[in-house]
Amino acid sequence: MKVSKYLLLSTTILGLMNPLVALADEQSHISSDSSNQSSSEQINKNNNQATQKSKQQNNVDSKTNKATSEAEDATLNGLPYSYDASTKTVTYHTGTYNITRDDSVINGNIADINNAEHVVIDGKINFVRDNDYYNIALFRASSEANTIEGLKNVDFSGAGPYTLKSLFLNTHYRSLDLSSLGTASIDNTTEMFRNMPNLEHVDLTALDMSNVTRTESMFAFDPSLKSVKFGKQNLSNVHRMTKMFFHDVNLESVDTENWTTSDQLDGVKNMFNGDSAMKKLDISTINMTNTAMLTSDSKTQEPGTGTGGGDWTPGEGLNSMLANMIQLKELKVGVNNNFKSVDGAGNHYNVGLHAVGEKDLNGYEYLGGWRNIGAGTVDNPAGENSWSSENFMRFFDRSKDAGTYVWDPRKADDVTVRYVDENNNYLEKPIVIQGNVGDPYSTKQKVFEGYTFHDVQGDVSGRLTDSVKPIIYTYYKNNGSNHTVNFYDMNGKKIADQINRTGTYQDSYDLTDQVNKTLAALKAKGYQSVSNYGVIKGNFGKVHDGAGYILTKLPASEVGTVKANYVDEQGKTIADSEINGGKLGSNYKTEKKDIKGYTFKAVKGNETGQITKQEQTVTYVYTKNPEKGADVTVKYTDENGQELAKSEVKTGNVGDKYTTEKKELTGYTFKEVKGSTNGEFTDKAQTVTYIYTKNDDNSVKPSEPVQPNTPDNQTDSNTNAKNDGSYDGITDKLFDIIHHKGAFYYGYQIFK
């Protein structure tokens, strides 16, 4: 009967589960169908998007091709060009460029050209100019471009003249190939290369400048420019060179020695002004015979025309030609040079050679004078003329003083560098530095085996002057040294331990505290100081014979003592006592001490007074400073170290008391404690651990089932159920099946 009962119960439960399982299967099937449908729709959607994107891309490609085609057909003043946006390159093609006033591209009206970083000329370009205007703006249109290629295709052989004025003004080109620009149709190079921050070198040897009349500011404000090569240039038609190389701070070389100029030249004002890196210059080829006649370099009148409002009275056409050339040390002048002028109002002008006493870029005075080489050399001039810059400009007579002049600096005093030991003995032969006033010099510390560097006297680097002091490097021998202090009575007997301090030569010593403490102890015994010798503070590198004190012993009946104690508030000694003594009736003085971790509170007794026969005591009382102690951590764990309750952290000052307690933890029994449950905070962290043991589990049995009425003689021979009515394994198995299938139906209630 019991077996039948359980079978019936199992059938009932499974009957309840079947709808749930079927529902789950149906739900899974629906989800799968939905997923398949969603995937199909997504694929169709992606295909549609791809098709749409392809159509859009075809439209973009079509527009791009159209734009590219349009770019190929674009023109600038009649010259065809194209633009590659990916490389930011503008390319000019074979054609003719019409030079007109309508160069709107310079004003930023053509974005492609204005934004280009590279310029390429891939075919021959001819130029046709408007009769009223011939300023070529083509190459400065792309002012931010770093490179330009194909200048060899530029042709100026057509009807001219052409002006190259402002041709590359304000551009950023790093280099220019001008080898094919040779033409006789150029008449103006004003500002041709002005304000080009990246340009370093220019070669104009292929350029025909024979018809050029103006070169003002041709290379002005080019901060990176280092050299300009002209070659053999005929500049005889040039009448204005004002500011031609103005403020080129890194310009070092201009080959002016092969120039040909004429008396048409009327203005060289500020021509080399500010070229602070140039050390050598030849102006002998620059005809300056009429440069003193122009009132202002702003005049536009040409010689002999009588027009333009110019004034050919004495003027300032040469003013400051060589100003601020603070490194110029070699200057060649010729028979056509002129250094000074006076205008009609009596104002004096000159070329502005750097004056004696002025300072160079490093702040040092420009000393010395100019001397012509004569029969000598650049390094050893032998000429008769020796002038300051002021007198050079004042007295120079071009008819007899032409030639090369070099800066003839004043000889400086020798600088002697010595390397010595602590006793001033040489460690090597002295070094002598020679030169001229203003020359830079430097010295360095050396290494000598067995010695350690100590110090240096004098300026180890600087500029030579006419009154230089020696430079002395001092070293100490590495061998150890010691210093002693002894204490003797009147008979020469030692009455206290010797004080001995050892160190190396670079070390210092101070034995003052030790000596005073020893003397105080001796005085307390009745000794009185008579004399002393030597030093008790100094450096081991200095030779001394040590120090000593001689004392005399007073009769005991004439000696008294004073003792100073240092204690905390509980009377505990916190520092060594000091004993003072001496002759009866003499004065004494005690002092409080600075004791780490304590603050002085009060003094008991007389800090000052007179020594008496009876010993006196002075007590200094201190309060201990609060000192934060390290934390005490209280833990509650099982036998495996697993935390059972949140740890507690106790804080306090060093010396404060702390207490801990065990806790009652449900399901656990206290076993033991590790660490001090009570104690004091210290400067080291402490841990107290309470350890617990887990209690045994108490199993809970299910309620007894109601037994059906069964004849006493009826039994089931093949049943797994026990006679006591318990469920055995059948109940548990059914429970697991139901729970696993997700159809938990009131849990154990099914079986009650």
pLDDT of residue 457: 95
Q: Is the pLDDT of residue 36 over 50?
A: no
Q: Is the pLDDT of residue 278 over 80?
A: yes
Domain boundary among 553, 570, 601: 553
Taking alpha carbons only, the member of 220, 228, 142, 233 closest to residue 186 is 233
287 and 393 assigned to the same domain:
yes
pLDDT in tens, 220-248: 999 999 999 999 999 999 999 999 999 99
Residue 540, domain extent: 483-553
246 and 383 assigned to the same domain:
yes
pLDDT in tens, 153-192: 988 776 567 788 999 999 999 999 998 776 667 889 999 9
- Helix 2-73 to helix 728-740 angle (10° resolution) is 20
Structure tokens at 319: 């003013």
pLDDT of residue 23: 42
Tell me whether residue 713 is in a domain.
Answer: no
Tell me whether residue 61 is in a domain.
Answer: no
Q: Is the pLDDT of residue 749 over 50?
A: no
Residue 453 sits in a domain of what CATH number? 3.10.20.320
- Using the Cα atoms of residue 138, residue 139, residue 142 and residue 148 in order, give the sign of their dihedral: positive
pLDDT of residue 379: 84
525 and 602 assigned to the same domain:
no
End-to-end CA separation in angstroms for the chain: 17
pLDDT in tens, 567-583: 999 999 999 998 888 88
Calculate mean pLDDT across residues 262-279: 93
Tell me whether residue 499 is in a domain.
Answer: yes
636 and 619 assigned to the same domain:
no
The percent of the chain in helix, strand and coil, each rounded to the nearest 5, is: 15, 30, 50
243 and 329 assigned to the same domain:
yes
Tell me whether residue 437 is in a domain.
Answer: yes
For the beta carbon of residue 171, count every other beta carbon within 10 angstroms. 25
541 and 589 assigned to the same domain:
no
Tell me whether residue 682 is in a domain.
Answer: yes
Domain boundary among 519, 553, 587: 553
Buried-exposed string 123-145: b where 16+ CB fall within 10 A, e elsewhere? eebebebeeeebbbbbbbbbbeb
- Using the Cα atoms of residue 719, residue 720, residue 724 and residue 727 in order, give the sign of their dihedral: negative
pLDDT of residue 279: 93
68: left (phi over 0), alpha (psi -120 to 50) or beta: alpha
Number of structural domains the chain divides into: 6
pLDDT in tens, 647-690: 999 999 988 899 999 999 999 999 999 999 999 999 999 999 99
For the beta carbon of residue 546, count every other beta carbon within 10 angstroms. 16
Distance CA 181, CA 177 (A): 9
Amino acid present at 426 = Y
Amino acid present at 43 = I
Calculate mean pLDDT across residues 585-614: 93
Tell me whether residue 273 is in a domain.
Answer: yes
677 and 637 assigned to the same domain:
yes
Structure tokens at 42: 């997504």
Higher per-residue confidence, 606 vs 725? 606
pLDDT of residue 502: 79
241 and 323 assigned to the same domain:
yes
DSSP state of 51: H
Q: Is the pLDDT of residue 269 over 80?
A: yes
pTM higher than 0.75, yes or no? Answer: no
Distance CA 292, CA 272 (A): 17
Q: How large a percentage of the chain has pLDDT more than 70? A: 73
- Judged by average pLDDT, the poorest of 177-181, 219-223, 274-278, 415-419 is 177-181
Confidence of residue 19 (pLDDT cuts 50, 70, 90): very low
464 and 600 assigned to the same domain:
no
268 and 286 assigned to the same domain:
yes
Q: Is the pLDDT of residue 48 over 60?
A: no
Q: Is the pLDDT of residue 207 over 60?
A: yes
Calculate mean pLDDT across residues 1-15: 45
Q: Is the pLDDT of residue 316 over 70?
A: no
Confidence of residue 362 (pLDDT cuts 50, 70, 90): low
Q: Is the pLDDT of residue 501 over 70?
A: yes
> How distant is the alpha carbon of residue 232 from its chain centre?
49
> How distant is the alpha carbon of residue 89 from its chain centre?
37
Distance CA 257, CA 284 (A): 7
642 and 658 assigned to the same domain:
yes
Tell me whether residue 387 is in a domain.
Answer: yes
Tell me whether residue 509 is in a domain.
Answer: yes
253 and 379 assigned to the same domain:
yes
Domain boundary among 357, 388, 409: 409
Calculate mean pLDDT across residues 321-328: 91
pLDDT of residue 34: 43
Higher per-residue confidence, 198 vs 72? 198
pLDDT in tens, 453-500: 989 999 999 988 878 789 999 998 876 667 889 999 888 899 999 998
